[in-house]
């Protein structure tokens, strides 16, 4: 259900559409297939982006607050700063360190993807950009949530627009017995955060020494990231920014076999060719899957497959053909299986998963898994739930709990009656759900930024308008910083963050890796005290 807004509702959606002459927008729809995503590389720099549109912005100052410092926030900030010269942006981040899932979600052995952080540094160099770290904004609606450092109502008087881009903080549940009570069962999201150094996940109990078999529920890129971390040669992972805490755990790991389980068939997998290729190239590792099922599904699909899907299926065929049997490690793709429950031993340690066997029904564009009533048991000592991330609403902002997004139209926040909430916008996973890669988020953020720019330049209602149409907000960050100071709250600037990062570089160099991340907020703050 959509949570009703506590804010003043604005004009109907139909009246809110506007455009800028000669203003070309980016739409996430152009990245819906792998061909477009491949060509839209994350290495595409801000210099390349600087000439894609021209905007004659009003001379009056334009003050924007961005909640969240991941790609959805940084890319939108860049576009606004570039095309509205009088704009200034304050970016709020709950942690002392920025970059969101680029820092805490991208796999350690994918450093090329993390290079986008250099691009974000370019944004932060703009004199009209202010990073306000170690400062949470908006208390989550989840019962028992910790009160935020600032509420949305604290920001409203000082900004013309507020962009919500704080991402997805929770994971989806399977809703079966044992998934939250047995030791050895955990969310892939939590595990990824743990090995990437996310402070709030450092209390996760991760013990890889008690079992040789793990199961990952889900067949997306995160699922394969988890499988790869469990099976990859430790000597290779030591060279990455994987935390030393996780390295120590992997040194004691007994995991040799990983099953990656999905409820539908091979044509419906969500992982990409890059992730699959990396799994197939793991040394000393045998690959297993149902060759007959793949052949029959390909025959049924005929010529309806698009090129990226054909390429992906070709990799699976090649993987089956070239896999070396009887290797010390193995990984398997299991299809047409849905978890029905987790079974534990007398010590509440996971020992098996009960799986329901499915069949596929429907046409090629809408294949659905239907239970057959048959069941089987899969023995394992570890299980990772990887069926998607989920955003959480904050107080005072409309939220669609069923979809897990802030309801919006082209980034404009709308309430339950589809009325525009003036001055409020959304980008990234909070806007469209936890799908796509960084390139998708970049295009999505640019679309929202274009919407914000269009609203500002065409005089659409924003926050805090005086009768003469000018903004009543301050042109600096001082009022908000003074408010935080009056509360005795310590903020972190981008310069402070660079000091923290430099210390991480130094610690990493001592053990032959790019960086060694601080695992607690206290350690981070100590660097700049």
Residues 137 and 151: their CA atoms lie apart, in Å, by 5
DSSP string, 361-418: ES-TTS-EEEEEEEEEEEE-SEEEE-S-EE---BTTS-EETTTTB--EETTEEE-TTS
* Binding annotation for NADP(+): 219-222, 263-264, 275, 436
Helices (H) and strands (E) in the chain, counts: 19, 20
* Binding annotation for FAD: 93, 101, 137, 429, 436-438
The DSSP H or E segment spanning 352 is: strand 350-361
Please enumerate in sequence order all residues whose Cβ is within 8 A of that of 315, keeping only pairs 6 or more positions apart, or say none: 273, 276, 277, 280
User: What pLDDT does 478 receive?
Assistant: 86
Residue among 139, 169, 141 nearest 153 (CA): 139
Q: How far is CA 432 from CA 102, 455, 506, in A?
A: 18, 20, 38
Query: Which two structure tokens, joined as six digits, stand for 210?
Result: 């008690």
Neighbours of 337 (CB within 10 A): 22
- Classified as helix, coil or strand, 31 is helix
Residues 356 and 343: their CA atoms lie apart, in Å, by 14
Return the residue matching tokens 């860049």. 78
Return the residue matching tokens 């408010």. 483
| CB-based burial label for 510 (10 Å; 0-12, 13-18, 19+) | exposed
* Binding annotation: 93, 101, 137, 219-222, 263-264, 275, 429, 436-438
In tens digits, the chain (529 residues) has pLDDT values of 333 333 333 333 333 333 333 333 333 333 334 344 333 333 334 444 444 444 444 568 999 999 999 999 999 999 999 999 999 999 999 999 999 999 999 999 999 999 999 999 999 999 999 999 999 999 999 999 999 999 999 999 999 999 999 999 888 999 999 999 999 999 999 999 999 999 999 999 999 999 999 999 999 999 999 999 999 999 999 999 999 999 999 999 999 999 999 999 999 999 999 999 999 999 999 999 999 999 999 999 988 899 999 999 999 999 999 999 999 999 999 999 999 999 999 999 999 999 999 999 988 778 899 999 999 999 999 999 999 898 999 999 999 998 999 999 999 999 999 999 999 999 999 999 988 888 889 999 999 999 999 999 999 999 976 434 444 455 566 899 999 999 999 999 999 999 999 999 999 999 999 999 999 999 999 999 8
Q: In terms of C-beta distances under 8 Å and separation of at least 24 residues, what long-range contacts does 478-487 make, across chains too?
A: 479/157, 479/158, 480/90, 480/132, 480/150, 480/154, 480/155, 480/158, 481/132, 483/150, 483/154, 484/132, 484/135, 484/149, 484/150, 487/149
Query: Which two structure tokens, joined as six digits, stand for 478?
Result: 């001082």
């Amino acid at each position: 259900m959509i949570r009703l807004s506590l804010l003043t509702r604005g004009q109907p959606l139909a009246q809110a559409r506007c455009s800028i002459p000669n203003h070309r927008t980016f739409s996430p729809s152009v990245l819906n297939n792998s061909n477009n995503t491949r060509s839209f590389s994350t290495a595409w720099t801000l210099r390349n982006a600087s000439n894609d549109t021209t905007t004659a912005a009003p001379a009056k100052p334009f003050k924007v607050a961005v909640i969240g410092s991941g790609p959805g926030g940084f890319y939108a900030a860049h576009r606004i700063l570039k095309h509205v010269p009088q704009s200034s942006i304050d970016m709020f981040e709950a942690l002392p360190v920025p970059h969101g899932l680029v820092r805490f979600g991208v796999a350690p052995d994918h450093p090329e993807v993390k290079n986008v952080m250099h691009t974000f540094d370019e944004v932060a160099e703009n004199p009209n950009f202010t990073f306000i770290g170690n400062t949470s904004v908006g208390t989550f609606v989840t019962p028992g949530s910790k009160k935020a450092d600032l509420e949305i109502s604290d920001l409203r008087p000082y900004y013309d627009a507020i962009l919500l881009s704080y991402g997805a903080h929770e994971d989806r549940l399977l809703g079966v017995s044992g998934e939250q009570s047995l030791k050895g069962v955990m969310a892939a999201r939590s595990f990824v955060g743990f090995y990437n150094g996310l402070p709030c996940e450092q209390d996760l109990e991760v013990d890889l020494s008690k079992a040789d078999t793990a199961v990952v529920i889900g067949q997306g890129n995160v699922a394969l990231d988890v499988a790869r971390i469990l099976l990859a040669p430790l000597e290779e992972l030591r060279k990455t920014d994987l935390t030393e805490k996780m390295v120590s755990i992997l040194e004691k790991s007994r995991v040799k076999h990983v099953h990656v389980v999905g409820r539908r068939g091979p044509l419906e997998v969500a992982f990409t060719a890059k992730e699959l290729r990396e799994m197939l190239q793991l040394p000393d590792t045998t690959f297993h899957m149902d060759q007959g099922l793949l052949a029959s599904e390909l025959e049924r699909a005929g010529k309806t497959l698009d090129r990226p899907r054909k390429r992906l299926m070709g990799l699976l065929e090649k993987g089956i053909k070239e896999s070396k049997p009887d290797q010390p490690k193995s990984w398997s793709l299991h299809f047409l299986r849905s978890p029905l429950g987790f079974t534990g031993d007398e010590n509440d340690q996971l020992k098996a998963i009960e799986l329901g066997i499915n069949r596929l029904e429907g046409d090629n564009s809408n294949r659905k898994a239907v239970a057959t009533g048959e069941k089987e048991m899969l023995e394992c000592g570890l299980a990772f739930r990887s069926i998607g991330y989920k955003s959480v609403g904050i107080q005072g902002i409309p939220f669609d709990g069923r979809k897990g997004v802030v309801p919006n139209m082209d980034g404009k926040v709308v309430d339950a009656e589809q009325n525009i909430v003036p001055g409020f916008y959304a980008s990234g996973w909070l806007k469209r759900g936890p799908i796509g890669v960084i390139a998708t988020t970049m295009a999505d953020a640019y679309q929202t930024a274009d919407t914000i720019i269009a609203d500002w330049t065409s005089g659409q209602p924003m926050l805090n308008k005086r009768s003469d149409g000018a903004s009543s907000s301050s042109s600096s960050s001082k009022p908000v910083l003074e408010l935080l100071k009056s509360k005795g709250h310590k903020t972190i600037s981008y310069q402070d963050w660079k000091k923290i990062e430099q210390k991480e570089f130094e610690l990493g160099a001592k053990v032959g890796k790019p960086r060694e991340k601080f695992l607690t907020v206290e350690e981070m703050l100590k660097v700049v005290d």
